[in-house]
Amino acid sequence: MRMNETEKELVEMVLSGRTEAFEPLVTPYRQPLLALAYRLTRNREEALEVAQEALLRAFRSLARYDVSRSFRNWLFQIAANEARDRFRKRTREKAALENAAREEPSSSAPEAGRERREIRSDILRCLAVLSPREREVFVLRDLEELDIKETARTLDCSSISVRVNLSSARRKLREEIRDNFPYLEE
């Protein structure tokens, strides 16, 4: 999906100093961006922070945006990077807490504790069985329907890596559905 003419004009307006053009530029993507962040973080408040930071970063670095790319995918890339950075930071900060949560026998999710209280959706609970990279790949390729090449570009990795993680993600999800969400199969 390439950038349309209206978006190009809005980008040029923002770059020429008319910053009020940025809001109409990103408004069509505000909900998809938040939905992506929500599926990656599985927490509404954190998703909101990720989406906000992604949009502010996009605003600050619009001069570096390559207009031959899809603007939506560029925003998704920034949001995925932001979510990953936050995940790493949180992992470091709360390593001890997560270790304690993993030891709970009833938990099959790699991240329990805080997130378990947040998760309401079946899809999000399914996604809990995936590693962060598998989740990113699955969400972008299967739920956001980016192609393999664009998914690789968005995640700054190779197409091979995308295929490996995608295969693993689909395998794990199939097992998860059969074991814990059989009603999704009906």
Partner 1 sequence: MTCRKAKKLIPLCAGDDLRPRLGTAVRAHIDACLSCRKELGEYRQDLTRLKTAAKAESVPDWSEGEWRALAARFKPAAPGEKGPAFLAQPRWAAASVLGAFLGLVVLAVLFKGPMGGPERVATAGRTDQAAAVRKQDVVSMTMVSQETGLQIVWFLDKNFEWKGDEN
Cα-based angle 125, 130, 135 (whole degrees, multiple of 5): 95
Residue 148 within binding range of partner 1, rule CB under 8 A: yes
Residue 48 CB contacts under 8 Å (≥ 6 apart), including other chains:
34, 37
Residue 101 or 137 having the CB closest to partner 1: 137
Distance CA 118, CA 105 (A): 19
Residue 59 or 94 having the CB closest to partner 1: 59
Nearest to 12, CA basis, from 63, 58, 56, 59: 63
The contact mask relative to partner 1 for 52-81 (x = CB under 8 A, - = no) is x--xx--xxxxxx-----------------
Q: Which residues, other chains included, contact 98 with Cβ-Cβ below 8 Å and sequence gap of 6+?
A: 91, 111, 112, 113
Instruction: Rank residues 43 and 73 by Cβ distance to partner 1 and give the closer one.
Output: 43
**For binding to partner 1 (CB under 8 A), which residues are involved?**
14-20, 22-23, 30-31, 34-35, 38-39, 44, 47-48, 51-52, 55-56, 59-64, 121-123, 126, 141-143, 148, 163, 166-168, 170-171, 173-174, 177, 184-185
